[in-house]
Amino acid sequence: MTKIIGLTGGIGSGKSTVAKHIASKGIPVYIADDEAKKIMTKKSVIQEIQNLFEENIILEDGQLDRKKIASIVFQAPSLLKKLNEVVHPKVKKHFEEWLKKHKDAPFIVKEVAILFETGGNLDCDKVILVTTPDDIKINRVMQRDNVNREEVIKRMKNQLSDAEKSKKSDFVVTNVKIEDTLIAIDEILNFLKIS
């Protein structure tokens, strides 16, 4: 039975870099956010999402206006919850299909930003949490997404704190220097291979 290793971390923690590193070792990695984005390009899903919003959130090319959606939902937690209720079951179904293709792997890694918030950790055999001091997170996201500090803090408030996530995680890696982080990740991977 393939073990499912959850990989999570708050916005700007560096979990995507860690996921790429794990994939470079030949370990199957499922990036839930990437799949969610693909699912949100399907016409039926676009319409389902539009139905949640009072204003138009569809661009001229027929795709969703992600920036507009983000600016709305990060100020309306109930709407964010409804959006997740549309997208997450579809991602879960896609993951189950993907997992069947990797049933011979001793373990796979499932990278999910809001693993604990959605209860996805309950489907995992172990969970790796990537943490980073808040000031580093904020600066990373401001540079990466070209948004202001307030916008990043708003997004962070929609996620559980690292302290809360740490209590529920099997492995916690603090990512300040990426070289040190990847060494710690390799040690965890070696442990998982022999356990």
- 15 is an annotated ligand-binding site residue: yes
CATH topology of domain 1-28+105-195: Rossmann fold (3.40.50)
Report, as an integer, the average pLDDT of 149-176.
Answer: 92
Confidence of residue 195 (pLDDT cuts 50, 70, 90): confident
Name the pairing type of β-strands 29-31 and 126-131.
Answer: unpaired
Whether the per-residue pLDDT at 78 is higher than 80: the answer is: yes
- 41 is an annotated ligand-binding site residue: no
Would you state the pLDDT for residue 87? 94
Q: What is the 3-state secondary structure (H, E, C) of the chain?
A: CCEEEEEECCCCCCHHHHHHHHHHCCCCEEEHHHHHHHHCCCHHHHHHHHCCCCCCCECCCCCECHHHHHHHHCCCHHHHHHHHHHHHHHHHHHHHHHHHHCCCCCEEEEECCCCCCCCHHHHCCEEEEEECCHHHHHHHHHHHHCCCHHHHHHHHHCCCCHHHHHHHCCEEEECCCHHHHHHHHHHHHHHHHHC
Would you state the pLDDT for residue 151? 86
- 16 is an annotated ligand-binding site residue: yes
- 17 is an annotated ligand-binding site residue: yes
Using one digit for the tens of pLDDT, what is the confidence trace for 9-51? 999 999 999 999 999 999 999 999 999 999 999 999 999 999 9
- 119 is an annotated ligand-binding site residue: no
- 42 is an annotated ligand-binding site residue: no
Report, as an integer, the average pLDDT of 46-65.
Answer: 95
Using one digit for the tens of pLDDT, what is the confidence trace for 91-140? 999 999 999 999 999 999 999 998 998 899 999 999 999 999 999 999 99
Confidence of residue 157 (pLDDT cuts 50, 70, 90): confident
Would you state the pLDDT for residue 154? 85
Tell which residue, 168, 164, 171, has the closest CA to residue 190.
171
Considering all CA atoms of the chain, what is the largest pairwise distance in Å, rounded to the nearest integer?
A: 53
Between CA 11 and CA 132 the distance in angstroms is: 9
